[in-house]
Amino acid sequence: MKKKNQTLGEFIIENQESFQYSSGELSRLINSIRLAAKVVNHEVNKAGLVDITGSAGEENIQGEQQQKLDVYANETFIQTLINREIVCGIASEENDNYITIQGQNEKHNNKYVVLMDPLDGSSNIDVNVSVGTIFSIYRRVTPEGAPVEMEDFLQPGNQQVAAGYIIYGTSTMLVYTTGCGVNGFTLNPAIGTYYLSHPNMQFPENGNIYSINEGNYVHFPQGVKDYIKYCQAEEGERPYTSRYIGSLVSDFHRNMIKGGIYMYPKSSKANNGKLRLLYECNPMAFIAEQAGGKASDGFQRILDIQPSELHERAPFFCGSKNMVEKAEEFMQATEAKLTTKVAK
């Protein structure tokens, strides 16, 4: 039974037996992420008081301007995971390539790899909008004892053993799953402890919020345009409410609690969408499905996509199950019309 006021540490110990690989390593890994998140949270809360906001003057592998807090968060999570010697490899949205980690005696005996977006929504830092960290955990597929290889990271999302996010907002929350439901923990900053505040989180099957950057409307596929018009129509429970923060963690978190759909489709400006499959789509899709929601690229389940490269992008439709399925209907109807037109 999940009890409120239970600490994250107590929860991990009490529930580690329900995890199929309960050797204690995954529990220590989650604890390491918890520690790094507290350090990053401290810096995020100082933004505006110290010289931590603004551009770092460099671009990441995606060609995006790195913010100072991007760099800080990336280094903090990487060093915390390396120092604890519980992972054999790390891949970050901010790094060109993956990192191989040796344990004691230069061995590579650890079982897990971590993929992460260390600071999602970092372009919002300067205007004091909530940002977050997203993480994804897999068991390595190459033999233990040898350095990790690319195939350890290029696994479909259905092979994840855990995933989660930290949202640095009016309160700081860590939300995660190990495949046994989704639970949220809120940080008490006075004592530095996370407490179970949102047990067994669930997406409502239906919602009335749609989250998409409508400024890109003219660049969207016709199916997305049709779905947006459907959301705005004066029928039944509609029109829906448009809410878009521009920080995936924040939009996803709100929609999971209130019911809604988040969309970042492909467009004429970004043929594969903007979100990274490994660092953003897969972990959020795993969480969504564990919370009774759904995640798709508009045509297929996100978690069944076989990645082909480390920084691959994918269209993303995620949220309340019935809303995602309705969006898929519009996408597939448009595709069917195009196929028929070409055939003629």
C-alpha closest to that of 181 among 289, 256, 302, 279: 289
Annotated binding-site residue? 117:
yes
Q: Are 167 and 249 in contact (CB under 8 A)?
A: yes
Rounded Cα–Cα distance for residues 312 and 154 (Å): 10
Annotated binding-site residue? 274:
yes
Annotated binding-site residue? 122:
yes
Annotated binding-site residue? 213:
yes
Asked if omega into 239 is within 30° of 0 (cis), the reply is yes
Q: Are 189 and 168 in contact (CB under 8 A)?
A: no
The two structure tokens encoding residue 159: 């092979």
Question: Which class for 312: exposed (0-12), middle (13-18), buried (19 or more C-beta within 10 A)?
Answer: middle
Annotated binding-site residue? 244:
yes
Rounded Cα–Cα distance for residues 334 and 165 (Å): 34
Annotated binding-site residue? 120:
yes
Coil, strand or helix: which one is 152?
A: helix
Q: What amino acid is encoded at 46 in this protein?
A: K
Annotated binding-site residue? 168:
no
Q: What is the DSSP letter of 32?
A: H
Question: Which class for 226: exposed (0-12), middle (13-18), buried (19 or more C-beta within 10 A)?
Answer: middle
Binding region: 93, 117, 119-123, 213, 244, 274, 280
Binding region for substrate: 120-123, 213, 244, 274
Binding region for Mg(2+): 93, 117, 119-120, 280
